[in-house]
Chains A and B, each alone.
Chain A
Amino acid sequence: MSLTTFAGSAQFAIVSVLGAGGTAAAAIAAAILLNLRYGPMALSAASVFRGGKLRRLLEAQLLVDESWALAQRDGRFDRRVMIGAGLALYVGWSTGTAVGVLAGDSLGDPATLGLDAAFPALFLALLSPLLRNRNALAAALIGAGIALALTPITPAGIPVIAATAACLVGLRRPAPEGQEKRA
């Protein structure tokens, strides 16, 4: 599955739904809801993809949270960074899955190493350089607010998708000229 659905959180969702005795349909729905966030992510990067439709389709598959976030460079999206990071993650993730299947029991709980705290920190570090104007800051705060508010009342996956609505602040309050140029 690591080979066909390059998206870790959806894998965990399927495993936890099926593991809890859920149906295949429920597992599929949960995983697709989680992966819907790649729609807006890929759209935000769409203008930098080049070449024919098939090439864009294949390159887009290397998009995951981490490669997409690492490719944010000074407010632009660097396609080559995403492809490089995506390939490295794909190889690492697939090998890691195989190692985990073979040797999973001998490893400790990753939480002991604080690995679960590494991901929010990575995303925060990648977010901070984007917050150069008031619109970006507003979008980030509203996005985080929406995600936290919806977490207790919606299934996993919905909060992050709903948070994308925060980008609509771009319609309401155009940034002053000077800041727009730097963005």
Chain B
Amino acid sequence: MSAAWTAVLVVGLATVAIKAAGPVLAGGRELPQSSARVVNLLAPALLAALVATQAFASDESLVVDERGAGLAAAGVAILLRAPLLLVVVVAAVTAATLRAIS
């Protein structure tokens, strides 16, 4: 079996197990209040980390490029209570425009 197919198979199985662990073991019941407070904060922590890495990480270095400008424009759109789709379009158009003129 080639390296690529080995990787595809192993990673596929591992990903299924990782995704299923929480819902299979802890699904269908409420968590105790103290752990619920911590688990509820997983969402903002993970989302913020995704925002930061998707906007400013390039491989293993930090860069401020057109994505950062798009993110700033998206932030303004969010403050102006723009709908979700518009926020995303504003960011993409901002980045594309800056790239086109630079």
Bound form: Cα–Cα A7–B51 in Å = 17
CB neighbours (8 Å) of A127 from chain B are 44, 47-48, 51
Interface residues of A (CB under 8 A from B): 1, 4-7, 10, 14, 18, 23-24, 27-28, 31-32, 35-51, 53, 56-57, 59-61, 63, 65, 69, 72, 75, 77, 111-128, 130-131, 135-137, 139-144, 146-148, 151-156, 159-160, 163-171, 174-175, 183
Q: Are A32 and B11 in contact (CB under 8 A)?
A: yes
Bound form: Cα–Cα A54–B2 in Å = 31
Min CB distance A35 to B, Å, is 5
Q: Are A117 and B66 in contact (CB under 8 A)?
A: yes
Bound form: Cα–Cα A122–B78 in Å = 10
At the interface, is chain B mostly helix, strand, loop or mixed? helix
Interface residues of B (CB under 8 A from A): 3-4, 6-12, 14-16, 18-31, 34, 36-57, 59-62, 66-67, 69-71, 73-75, 78, 84, 87-97, 99-100
At the interface, is chain A mostly helix, strand, loop or mixed? helix
Min CB distance B1 to A, Å, is 9
With A47-B29, A130-B47 in contact, do A169 and B41 touch (Cβ < 8 Å)? Answer: yes
With A6-B15, A49-B27 in contact, do A151 and B60 touch (Cβ < 8 Å)? Answer: yes
Across the two chains, which residue of chain A brings its CB closest to B21? A39
CB neighbours (8 Å) of B95 from chain A are 111, 114, 116-117
Bound form: Cα–Cα A168–B45 in Å = 10
Across the two chains, which residue of chain B brings its CB closest to A119? B54
Across the two chains, which residue of chain A brings its CB closest to B89? A118
What are 19 of the A-B contact pairs (CB < 8 Å)? Answer: A5-B8, A5-B12, A32-B18, A38-B19, A39-B19, A40-B42, A43-B21, A44-B43, A45-B23, A46-B25, A57-B23, A120-B70, A124-B71, A136-B41, A140-B48, A143-B48, A154-B60, A164-B42, A164-B49
